[in-house]
Structure 1
């Protein structure tokens, strides 16, 4: 069975990079939206290991885990804003904020990223659950007009009209531009100027298409690239003389990197990839030992990875409203590994009645662009 990969693609820019959202919001940059003020985060968790400066948010990803009935779970990727530190892997951190059992019902697949609350000025606003369920019920009941409830239909239409009137009109196409669009709505902002911020834009998701399915690529050449990637994966165990000559004879050619580049080129706007307990898309053969969970000792597994286009979109901001920038970043991908058991980071003992929010530090592996470091 093919693993499901969700791609984080750029949505609209925030009007103010310090604007508040909530922990259900997936975004790049801005200020962290902690689920509660009483998280009990130790100050050193938010400080650079190298210089002690306050870390800034790179990505905030709402990441529920359905099979464990964990909806209240968000990942925060942070980095030191100082250029002398940000190129060093030790200046990066990933924190998992989690309530081990919220008692809420979870919908969707194991690794599906579900947006529970409507993001302000989202370019792809999620449909109302109630309206969506009502539409499905209407489709299933079309064949039985005798039971059709006109009052319920009128009520649903009224709800839909209200939702439409309060939601910003969608842009002509969510893939029409190479950079996010500005958002007209202004939200309450965080006034703590001591928190360094990167330019902020919101994220929408799209699934990476599997072999044999249509994809979002706009040209036939890009479609061919995706097919070539899949062919490379299926043929990795085979030894074809022609391929051997192509990859082994070309100076500097690396099969792993070529596969990485083609997957990246197929979706050139991807800021990150998410596949809970899936396989990372590595840019180089080498990898580091990601160790075990510091809390429970369980092995860590892959969850998500940042991709290099993220740096490009952040560079497009450049309007002076951010006090840090990714100028020193030279990585190709930054891979996040999390506890495979999603152990509860609070001291509740795993008992739902006692569960409180807690924070655990997870592991990051960085694969650099060697050409930039040469």
Structure 2
């Protein structure tokens, strides 16, 4: 069975780019939603390593890990808003913020991306984030079915069915429009104007098709191709000759880039890809060593990567209401590597009876579009 890859797709635009949410919210741009006001973040972690300018948020991804029994965990991807710096990898940072609990143990469950409190819009039900979440809830019901009021359970299931139907219709509308839509409700906003902000929109999830399957989205006429083109020979209905890459007819082509482009074209709205301990979708083969965790010495592993459509959607919102813009970005993908053990980034060391928040900087690798830099 292949790895699960969760795709971050554009949901509605924020009414105000400085509006507050919480650390459970997955979004692009806006202001960082820290889990608490005083996290004790060192000032240099929020400053550009080249010019010292205050960094702005590019992506905030709520990323709990069921396998490690860590639910309070969020990744923040930041960049210098200055055009002269933002094309340089040293101006990008990734912070892992998580709550350190005592007695953390592996429970043997598959790593999944849970979105229990995904915020899209207060007047719109949040879309389902992953299959894993429903599995967790189902298991919980099975373990505690003796404690449930059956009438209450029936009522809850009826409400869930209504919510799912409503969410499906709204998600279909989002896909058809192919761009984020404006959220109608104004939320509380951050009044600190010293924090630079990119245009803000929220994210909903879809799971990338597994190898050997294809999917056609009738609303946007997007075709999801099989990962291995040779497997398409037995099914005439899945042959899309215009989309196939003929490696034999292009002997000078870069296979790594062609594979990258094929999977990007399959979901042209993907703003990021998530698969903890999975394999990154690389645009080039030259990848530097990402080293080990600064805190515990464990090897780093792939977790997340930003994709170039993210820049497109941010450009679409260039109405002057944000204090920075992605004008100097020329990268194809930004790949984030994190501690394979997701170690406790705090001085409490997960001692019995202690519970605190910690912050640690992880590693990010930039792969650029060489044609733009030529």
TM over 0.5, yes or no?
Answer: yes
State the SS of the aligned residue for 2:337: strand
* Structure 1 segments unaligned to the other structure (5+ residues): 142-148, 235-241
| 2:75 counterpart of 1:94 | no
* Backbone CA RMSD of aligned residues: 3.7
Q: Distance in 1 between matches of 2:12 and 2:216?
A: 19
Query: Cα–Cα, structure 1 residues 296 and 218, in superposed 2: closer, same or farther, change >3 Å?
Result: same
Q: Distance in 2 between matches of 1:295 and 1:150?
A: 48
Q: Distance in 2 between matches of 1:171 and 1:313?
A: 17
Query: Cα–Cα, structure 1 residues 244 and 14, in superposed 2: closer, same or farther, change >3 Å?
Result: closer
Q: Is the 8 A contact 1:247 1:255 kept in 2?
A: no
Task: Quote the residue 2:265 is aligned against.
Answer: 265
Q: Where do 1:125-164 residues align within 5 Å?
A: 125-126=126-127, 151-152=151-152, 155-156=155-156
Q: Is the 8 A contact 1:27 1:60 kept in 2?
A: yes
Task: Quote the residue 2:3 is aligned against.
Answer: 3
- The superposition leaves residues 284-317 of structure 1 with CA deviations (integer Å, 9 ceiling, x where unpaired) of 0100110111111111000010000000000000
* Structure 2 segments unaligned to the other structure (5+ residues): 233-244
The structure that has the greater radius of gyration is 1
Task: Quote the residue 1:237 is aligned against.
Answer: none
Q: Is the 8 A contact 1:87 1:329 kept in 2?
A: yes
Task: Quote the residue 1:231 is aligned against.
Answer: 229
Q: Where do 1:177-188 residues align within 5 Å?
A: 177-188=177-188
- The superposition leaves residues 307-330 of structure 1 with CA deviations (integer Å, 9 ceiling, x where unpaired) of 000000000001111000000000
Q: Distance in 1 between matches of 2:220 and 2:154?
A: 45
* Bigger mean CA offset, 279-288 vs 104-113: 104-113
Q: Where do 1:306-345 residues align within 5 Å?
A: 306-345=306-345
Q: Where do 1:23-42 residues align within 5 Å?
A: 23-42=23-42
Query: Cα–Cα, structure 1 residues 150 and 307, in superposed 2: closer, same or farther, change >3 Å?
Result: closer
- The superposition leaves residues 9-66 of structure 1 with CA deviations (integer Å, 9 ceiling, x where unpaired) of 0000000000000000000000000001121100000000111000000000000011
Query: Cα–Cα, structure 1 residues 183 and 255, in superposed 2: closer, same or farther, change >3 Å?
Result: same
Query: Cα–Cα, structure 1 residues 233 and 67, in superposed 2: closer, same or farther, change >3 Å?
Result: farther
TM-score for both structures, normalised by structure 2: 0.83
Task: Quote the residue 2:170 is aligned against.
Answer: 170
Cα drift, residue 349 of structure 1 = 1.6
- The superposition leaves residues 244-295 of structure 1 with CA deviations (integer Å, 9 ceiling, x where unpaired) of 74342x4xx2110000000000000000000100000000010011011111
Query: Cα–Cα, structure 1 residues 266 and 350, in superposed 2: closer, same or farther, change >3 Å?
Result: same
Task: Quote the residue 1:239 is aligned against.
Answer: none
Cα drift, residue 230 of structure 1 = 2.0
Give the length in aligned residue pairs: 351
Q: Distance in 2 between matches of 1:81 and 1:59?
A: 14
Q: Distance in 2 between matches of 1:217 and 1:172?
A: 10
| 2:70 counterpart of 1:67 | no
Task: Quote the residue 2:373 is aligned against.
Answer: 373
Task: Quote the residue 1:144 is aligned against.
Answer: none
Q: Is the 8 A contact 1:345 1:360 kept in 2?
A: yes
Query: Cα–Cα, structure 1 residues 16 and 337, in superposed 2: closer, same or farther, change >3 Å?
Result: same
* Bigger mean CA offset, 253-262 vs 99-108: 99-108
